[in-house]
Amino acid sequence: MSIQTPVITDDTARHVLWHYSRDGGIRPGRGTQSLMEAIDAADMANVEKLRLGFPELVAAMLTAKNDIGGIAKLQQIASGV
């Protein structure tokens, strides 16, 4: 079984940037805000459960939190480059 990394869309990148108060962010709806708060607060076992239903959002959140240059990557996606 192969695990594919979901493609992060420009909208999702903007929402995650907003969550972390970074340039290029746009405020999402309340439901997405709640999901991002849950992902941010969850331990890794529960993040993996959330990934099942929201793979793109989890990938973007983890990119922002854990990847060196992750914020810059999301800003690039958000700008359409």
The string of DSSP codes covering 1-38 is ---PPPPPPHHHHHHHHHHTT-TT-----HHHHHHHHH
C-alpha angle with apex 60: 78 to 15, nearest 5 degrees?
Answer: 50
pLDDT at 2 over 50: no
Q: Tell me: the pLDDT tens digits for 5-54?
A: 789 999 999 999 999 999 999 999 999 999 999 999 999 999 999 999 99
Q: Tell me: the pLDDT tens digits for 41-81?
A: 999 999 999 999 999 999 999 999 999 999 999 999 999 87
pLDDT class of 1 with cuts at 50, 70, 90: very low
In contact, 55 and 62? CB cutoff 8 Å:
no
Predicted confidence at residue 29, as pLDDT, reads 96
